[in-house]
Amino acid sequence: MSVKHFVKYEPQEKPPHVLAAGLGAQIVVLIVTGIMVTPLVVARAANLDAASSTWLVFAALIAAGASTWLQISRLGIIGGGFVLFVGSNVAFVSVSVSAIGAGGLPLLASLVCAASLATFLFTAKMGALRRVLTPAVGGTVLMLMALSVAPVVWNMFKKVPPEFAGTTIPPIILISTLLPIVVVSLFARDMLRLWAPLIGVVVGSTVAWQYGLVDLAPVAAAPWIGMPVGHWPGVSLALGETFWALLPAFVLITMVGCIETYADGLAVQRTSFREPRPIDFRSVQGAINADGVGSFFAGLLGTVPNTVYSMSVGIMELTRVAARRVGAWGGLFLILLAFSPKIGAVVAAMPSPVAGGYLLMVLVLLFGHGVRMVTEEPLSFEAGVAVCLGFWVGVGFQGGFLFNELMPEWAKLFLSNGTTSGGLTAIILMGLISLKNRTRDKLSVPLEIGALGQIKPLVQGFCTRLGWDEQASNRLMLVAEESLLFLLENQSRGGETAAGAKTQLHVRIRDVEHEAELEYVSAPASVNVESALMAVSADSEHEASLEEELSLRLLRGMTRELKHLQYHGTDYLLMRVDSSA
């Protein structure tokens, strides 16, 4: 049964500017700490000077604001058109520190720019890659990322002035930061829970100030409005051995960010409208591409990459306001905050144990999110072997236990990052499993009524091999016919193809848990089958012809599951049919 949502303002609607600005400001207050702390932690772990640290934070805020604007836009294939706030990606902390140590900020900038282009490869092949880059693979890489960032966090706990080293003060500050975050996260509800990280940072910083670890003089001296002390570091064009050794890790983390944004793109569509509607995967592609453009812009500015903050979806569910105007105001506030040295000085004054405690909680949530992604769908034995082996190979290389010393220098740099080695292992194994389970029953035909003559033997051969009876075989054939007729009707509505060329239809049938999964891959259709099915009801006047409505009702009645995934350039029509009566 369809579930309706109580939404005060849908994305295209325009709430009063006062309301939109207030909600945008509220979300910015909740996420700005994370946006600024991530580049600050990178700067401290890489031992950058104050000027470079200031520039990293400044550029991160500018990139986050601009990327949030991109997310609410629909500029061709860029932007999803929904309220998704963007911020610094904590998953890049470890590899960013390695890049700065190997070649400074210019090398980091070039790696971020190059890796961000992988998002467009991902979205271009999103339909085809869905069986290899699964949530389970993304979750495995996410857990490995948390493990790779962990050493940076451990060092942050003890990074204090010499007079405080070896005393009980750093652990007291750490506990003062972590305890409020954990307590509020566990016992608070709804909106208050979202404030847990900020509450922990405030409490931890207050305790640190009592012990004399917080110097407020730079905060008092900093102006409210002004430019950062640092300067643009530039982008390195010297693509040497270090660049190519670090690039796979940046690309892999970028790919996992794509999978996370994919999930956020689905979630925001499910909660942004009053009436349920099918997922628009072109919008999801646009959201991922906006992430890529935003990260490329962050790289040009010389800071860490961006990613969508899932928190913004949760806040939208609580406020029931999904209007793009909220994102417009929020992006503006993020950019304005970048030009306030006072705000930057406040974050820079945060002691390292406080920043480490905050980041530790982020890693806990990141690792937990990875576990949920791995267990999102039941794992087959083969997929379980792939992701678990990938995880432990990553741990082994990260710890230097898998004969790292016997490898050449380029391989050491390449594989010693657990995210790279473990992620590639999982992806390669999932690719081999996909090849093993590749569709045997497939063909490509022109999208025309005469194609039924070629599709029928394919369906009959599939049913015979699986031992289906005549009734089940006829039902699968009827589904194949009716879905083909629907696609033909869509083609006639969309007009002729260029130069009278025939549209190709790729037909695939797979045995999935003793059910047939019939897949049609074709050029984009003008109407989504799921939308048309939702519009058809017994007591409503449907615009379609009687024949088309009959086809839709037959498809709905004879399929266990029907999905119409529409991407830029390609449609996937998936129908599950069982063999029972």
459 found inside a domain: yes
Are 373 and 498 within one domain?
A: no
What's the pLDDT score for residue 304? 92
278-296 residue pLDDT tens: 888 899 899 999 999 999 9
Which tokens hold the place of 274?
């009053």
- Among 152, 48, 38, CA closest to 105: 48
What's the pLDDT score for residue 539? 46
Are 369 and 229 within one domain?
A: yes
Are 245 and 363 within one domain?
A: yes
195 found inside a domain: no
Q: How many CB atoms lie within 10 A of CB 339?
A: 17
Are 373 and 449 within one domain?
A: no
411 found inside a domain: no
Q: Is the pLDDT of residue 538 over 50?
A: no
- Which of 377, 409, 433 is at the close of a domain? 377
What's the pLDDT score for residue 285? 92
367-405 residue pLDDT tens: 887 888 788 777 788 888 888 898 898 888 878 888 877
Distance CA 316, CA 321 (A): 6
326 found inside a domain: yes
Distance CA 305, CA 92 (A): 7
- Among 286, 252, 264, CA closest to 123: 286
- Which of 361, 377, 393 is at the close of a domain? 377
Say how many domains are in the chain.
2
Binning pLDDT at 50, 70 and 90, where does residue 483 land? Answer: confident
373 found inside a domain: yes
Q: What domain range includes position 269?
A: 17-159+216-377
Strand partners, 576: 517, 561
Residue 124: which residues within 8 A CB-CB, separation 6 or more? none
Burial class (CB in 10 A: 0-12, 13-18, 19+), 464: exposed
401 found inside a domain: no
For the entire predicted model, the pTM comes to 0.80
- Which of 377, 395, 419 is at the close of a domain? 377
Binning pLDDT at 50, 70 and 90, where does residue 529 land? Answer: confident
- What is the DSSP annotation of 482-546? HHHHHHHHHHHHH-PPGGGPPPEEEEEEEEETTEEEEEEEESPPSS-HHHHHHH--TTS--SS-H
565 found inside a domain: yes
CATH number of the domain at 480, please: 3.30.565.10
Q: Is the pLDDT of residue 496 over 50?
A: no
Are 492 and 345 within one domain?
A: no
> What distance lies between CA 60 and its chain's CA centroid?
18
